[in-house]
Structure 1
Amino acid sequence: MKQLIKASIGAAVLALSLPAMAEIVVVVNPKAAESSLTKDQVAQFFLGKSTAMTPVDQPDGTPARAEFYKKVTDKDASQVKAVWSKLVFTGKATMPKEVGDSAAVKKAVAADPKGIGYIEKSAVDASVKVVYSAS
């Protein structure tokens, strides 16, 4: 019986120590012509390789941002910062607008016909249109 209790406690501790990753989706203004985008297309906007859409970023250090960049660009936060630093320094691009959270991303994207951002899937509503799922 003691063994079973120890095993149960061990499993519970392990489950609690694993990070719970929310599914991240890429959203655009509902009036945008795009109905879906590929991973590469999304990466181009968020790495400054295309200016056809205006990227809206979540704060540095947030789980959503880390997960988004890892899954979509295959880069970590420091690599993404290096890419943007070079682009900004050479005058080739302007850093993405950074807002506070998924609600702020939704609001910014809903207000900008060329806006593109990423939020937790659970935060999606009619104010934005999902064009890519980073699951």
Structure 2
Amino acid sequence: MAMLKRTLAAVLAACAVSAAAAAEVGELVVIVSARTPLTMLRTDQAAGIFLGESYSLPDGGEAVALDQSVGSPLRDEFYRKVAHRSPALMKAYWTKMIFTGRGQPPREAPSSAAVRRLVADNPGMVGYIERAALDPTVRPVLVLK
């Protein structure tokens, strides 16, 4: 009985930590440069771009994915919502893609501000940031709730 109580307590603590981490992330938005004509992106289109399955935007323009750093709560939440994959599954996915020569993971930036700056300066880039980090240099094309 004591072991069951400890196990239950550990599970509840893990759930609380998970919920707290998710609450810290806030609302994520997929962004493009304000100079890009694209106004909307579907979740499956974003997944294709970030999983290396598509290299073009729906309007035919070039799409270059820009990730947050490995281990970032934003990155983990983004891939859970867009690709329905955990960090471990994403690591396995890119390991396989690299090993088979079918792709390379997206370039990384260390923060939402860095992602925003790079996307703003490069009309072909697609990134994701917290909604609170938006400014007029980028355009949100997908809101992830």
Give the TM-score range, shorter chain: 0.7 to 0.9
Residue from 32, 41, 44 that aligns with 2:45: 41
Structure 1 gaps of 5+ residues are 1-13
Number of corresponding residues: 120
In 1: Cα distance, 2:142 partner to 2:116 partner: 15
Residue 39 (structure 2) pairs with residue 29 (structure 1): no
Verify the 8 A CA contact 2:51 2:105 in the aligned structure 1: no
Matched letter for residue 89 of structure 1: F
In 1: Cα distance, 2:75 partner to 2:66 partner: 11
Structure 2 gaps of 5+ residues are 1-15, 57-62
Q: Secondary structure at the match of 2:140?
A: strand
Identical columns (%): 39
Q: Structure 1-normalised TM-score? A: 0.83
Verify the 8 A CA contact 1:47 1:80 in the aligned structure 2: no
Higher CA-based Rg: 1
RMSD: 1.5
In 2: Cα distance, 1:115 partner to 1:64 partner: 18
What residue is the counterpart of 2:119 in the other structure?
Answer: 109
Residue 54 (structure 2) pairs with residue 50 (structure 1): yes
Matched letter for residue 100 of structure 1: P
In 1: Cα distance, 2:38 partner to 2:101 partner: 28
